[in-house]
Structure 1
Amino acid sequence: MSTLADQIDALLPQTQCTRCGYPDCRSYAEAIAAGLTEINRCPPGGTEGMVRLAAVTGKATLPLDVSCGVEGPLTVAVIDERWCIGCTLCIKSCPIDCIVGTHKQMHTVIESRCTGCELCLPACPVDCISLEVMTPGRTGWHAWTAAQADEARTRYLERNQRRSQAELRHAEQLETKASHKLAHLETQTNEVEVPGELDRKRRTIEAALAKARSQRAKIAES
């Protein structure tokens, strides 16, 4: 059975642009459902999006909050290949993995997947990314389809899952490495030249081990 947050999330365009002030569309949906924020903070959804949100939440429609941006057409990011330095910062900033490329190699945007979230623009150190309007004359939900939103949501969730798995593997590697170092340290019986040096090393390794275990536990819970 769908919750109110589920219903609200289904009415958001899934750009994951963070303009609403929340880290993603789902977080914004949950905040609306909990009565923590208004329904007028999604410029990509526009006025039509707010009308849809009002219908499902029972809230009154409001003017779009201009602090979040203005309603506009669907845009896609375009990378100027002449200036791209292959820093990969845009790839890391993209919430739906629609930018491809490798370190120190030219990157490109898969236009059919781009939601125009604009998060790659401030990430680029050489300002080689611009936006191209794809739906002139059509804004908000008139520029989007439910299928596009569903695909964007799926790609965002898949991207987060891959990154969580990578972070978990990294935390596990750190934990294993720290455990091995601690075990090796415990076998050292030779007197060290500096008084207390063995204890200092032990405390450092134990702190690193505790941090790695804490990181792994947080990732596993998320």
Structure 2
Amino acid sequence: MTDRVTLADRIEDLLPQTQCTKCGYDGCRPYAQAVARGEAGYNQCPPGGAQGIARLAALLGQPVIPLNPVNGEERPRPLAVIDETLCIGCTLCMQACPVDAIVGAPKLMHTVVAELCTGCDLCVPPCPVDCIDMKPVTGERTGWDAWSPAQAEAARLRHDRRTARLERERRAAEARAAARRAEAAAGSKAPGMTAPEDDEAARKRAIIQAALERARQKKEALAAQGVAPKNVANVSPDVQAQIDAADARRERLDTSNTPPGQASDHAPDPDEH
């Protein structure tokens, strides 16, 4: 019998590595593992399309079946394009991009590196001013006719590097938070004094909060003009979960009246992004 870990590796090698989560999993690797365990169908990857299903069916010794419509539809590969006149530099799209294809900084205009974009759509829902469009760039070509093994491998490498970086940043943020709690518990800081890192954290929170307030005002202005949000039809449960998580982060960042040292232990550290 084929070893399950090896089978998961072989399945992952046949996936396009767009990391779009349309399959119902957090990325291509978790989906491959689920298929190998028999917990997911091999017809749940819209970017791979019919060709991808045929490749997986051949590997698994199963019949070729249609793409599950619950996971989306096969389409020409899109490219995320940011309207620079509307971008407010909130960084939410950067946080959502699974392959670090968006560059920018807080309060500054962001842009998409076209060569790196996998067309995953994940940057669209979190944008508070709806300034991101997904534009088809492969004509009528879909699936593996619109993508290549080299592009897939490059996307996988960027995704793995990003995942490793986020894990390092998470651990560093937890270590800083633990150190601050220990310092506060020891009473080492004089009354009314704050450490430089606390001052910097407060400054970053203020910058983020100001950007989110500008986003809210622009969104209300667009709504008053009858301009509806774009690219949010048929949002998958996983993408909706990302939107909910972003909303929760925004709520937790609304701490302008809370001293830095009294923030919830579960609130994100500003240095984390």
Aligned to 1:40: 43
Quote how far apart the aligned CAs of 1:183 are: 2.7
**The one of 4, 12, 16 aligned to 2:15:** 12
- List per-residue Cα deviations over 1:68-97 (Å, max 9, x = no partner): 110011111000111111111101110000
Q: What letter matches 2:130 in structure 1? A: D
- Select the residue among 156, 165, 170 that pairs with 1:167: 170
Aligned residue type for 1:162:
R
Could you say which residue in structure 1 is the equivalent of 2:220? none
Tell me the secondary structure at the aligned position of residue 67 of structure 2: coil
| Aligned partner of 1:133 among 131, 136, 155 | 136
SS in 2 for 1:86: coil
Measure, in 2, the Cα distance between the counterparts of 1:130 and 1:148.
Answer: 22
Tell me the secondary structure at the aligned position of residue 125 of structure 2: helix
Q: Distance in 1 between matches of 2:92 and 2:186?
A: 38
Residue type at the aligned position of 1:50: I
Residue aligning to 1:145 = 148
Q: Which 4+ residue blocks in structure 1 deviate beyond 6 angstroms?
A: none
Instruction: Name the counterpart of 1:196.
Output: none
Residue 110 of structure 2, aligned match among 90, 107, 111: 107
Distance 1:184 1:87 in 2: 36
Aligned to 1:118: 121
User: Aligned partners of 1:181 and 1:120: how far apart in 2?
Assistant: 38
CA deviation string 1:98-145 (max 9, x = no partner): 001111111100000000000011011111111121111110011110
CA distance in 1 between counterparts of 2:92 and 2:27 reads 19
Superposed CA RMSD in Å reads 2.0
- Which residue number corresponds to residue 33 of structure 2? 30
Aligned to 1:64: 67
**Cα distance in 1 between the residues matched to 2:18 and 2:73:** 14
SS of the aligned residue for 2:187 comes to helix
* CA-CA distance at 1:181 after TM superposition: 2.3
Q: Structure 2 CA distance, aligned partners of 1:57 and 1:32?
A: 10
1: distance between equivalents of 2:62 and 2:41? 8
In structure 2, C-alpha distance between the alignment counterparts of 1:30 and 1:182, rounded to whole Å: 44
TM-score, L = length of structure 2: 0.66
Gaps of 5+ in 2: 189-261, 267-273
Q: Between Structure 1 and Structure 2, how many residues are aligned?
A: 190
Q: Which residue among 169, 179, 184 is the counterpart of 2:187?
A: 184
Equivalent residue, structure 2, for 1:154: 157
Task: Return the TM-score normalized by structure 1.
Answer: 0.81
